[in-house]
Amino acid sequence: MARLSLVLIAMVMLFGVKAYAEDLATPSLDDIDYPEEEAPSAKEVELGKVLFFDPRLSLNMKQSCGTCHNPDLGFGDGLATGLGTMGGGLGRNTPHIYNLAWNVTFFWDGRAGTLEEQALGPIQAAGEMNLPLEKLIPRLQAVKYYQDTFKAVYGDGINKANVGKAIASFERTLNAMNTPFDQYLAGDKMAMGPEAVRGLALFEGKANCVACHDGANFTDNSFHNIGLKGDDKGREGVAGGKDMRGAFKTPGLRNVIFTAPYMHDGSEGSLESVVQFYNRGGDQDTNKSSQIKKLNLTEQEVSDLVAFLGALTDPLEIKRPKIP
């Protein structure tokens, strides 16, 4: 069974095609695939949290991971497309980082295969935090807190692998697991209002959102061209194959109410406009996924779907750490 699952995940990552659909569910901490099969200690998570909010991780020390992934803005930045530490614009929307603990591929185009790899990517990316890792390590080694804590947590001290491990350990704790939807699944039929209940039926039925937004985290971890205008190659730029042109990763939907604007290009400013986009079957047909079709939803049905998306909300309170 495990061998079959690995084969199916490989198919998803390579071809963007999911061979099976998962029922909507509540995430389980038991299903997190921790490195070395061991959950991080509280000290490792705290170290990762401090690093996440430390502007030393950018070249000019003006930007931290938490600048773009701002907990007050749904771990996004509220912009259509992001800004780098030097002030330059980025080509894509800053994705939220809720429930990444269960993901198998990262970034809009899936270019990272682990959360540790993802954590290090923006730090060294020229357009983003713009800091080569060989320059980051001496910065951290000059800080006593980092000297002591890296040694205590990892034994071998500060190196780029351990920086990635620490940040990823913190990110794996950013989980929305007790939403009204989860309470509804657990048997509390009053947890969701009538609109949201109707929206759930539409999500799984007429609107067929579940074709891509399935499982416990409402993502198939795959890539689809949903009919957005633009010339961004998306997954094609990583995996090749013209069938992947304009295809982007299906984002998870937990806490989606906090993460506007939406889509890889930030072109939709509200959940209602997102649903209307799908309702009209996208905006262009070139290489568009066969899953994207006109839905013929009524205005009430659009409202019901938005109500259901709102029921996927479990706010996380993150207290920013003191930076050493």
Element (H, E) at 224: strand 223-224
Band (294; pLDDT cuts 50, 70, 90): very high
Res 78: pLDDT = 97
Q: What is the reported pLDDT for 12?
A: 47
Mean pLDDT of 218-222: 96
Give the count of domains, the chain: 2
| 241 lies in the same domain as 301 | yes
Domain that holds residue 188: 180-310
pLDDT in tens, 228-277: 999 999 999 999 989 999 999 999 999 999 999 999 999 999 999 999 99
Which of 145, 171, 197 lies at the terminal end of a domain, its last residue? 171
Whole-number pLDDT of residue 21: 60
* Residue 195 annotated to the active site: no
Q: Which tens digits make up the pLDDT trace of 223-239? A: 999 999 999 999 999 99
Is residue 76 domain-resident? yes
Q: Do residues 100 and 221 both lie within one domain?
A: no
Q: Supply the angle between the helices 160-171 and 144-154 in degrees, to the nearest 10.
A: 80
Residue 22: predicted pLDDT: 83
Tokens describing residue 224: 């689809």
**pLDDT value of residue 196:** 98
Residue 245 resides in a domain: yes
Name every residue whose Cβ is closer than 8 Å to that of residue 215 and which is 6 or more positions away in sequence. 22, 23, 24, 25
Mean pLDDT of 50-73: 97
Residues sharing a CB contact under 8 Å with residue 25, sequence separation 6 or more, in sequence order: 185, 215, 216
**In this predicted structure, what is the pLDDT of residue 36?**
84
The pLDDT > 90 percentage for the chain reads 91
Closest among 248, 195, 249, 246 to 217, alpha carbons compared: 249
Q: What is the pLDDT of residue 11?
A: 46
Report pLDDT for 107: 97
Asked if residue 197 is part of any domain, the answer here is: yes
Rounded to whole angstroms, the Cα distance separating 105 from 113 reads 5
Specify the CATH number for the domain of residue 189. 1.10.760.10
The full length of the chain comes to 324
pLDDT digits (tens, 9 = 90+) for 11-33: 444 444 454 568 999 999 999 99
Question: Does a structural domain hold residue 315?
Answer: no
pLDDT at 18: 52
Q: Is residue 44, in this structure, part of any structural domain at all?
A: yes
pLDDT at 289: 96
* Two tokens, residue 79: 């912009």
Find the catalytic residue in 116, 128, 171, 236. Answer: 128
pTM (two decimals): 0.91
Same domain, 240 and 275: yes
Q: Whole-number mean pLDDT of the chain?
A: 93
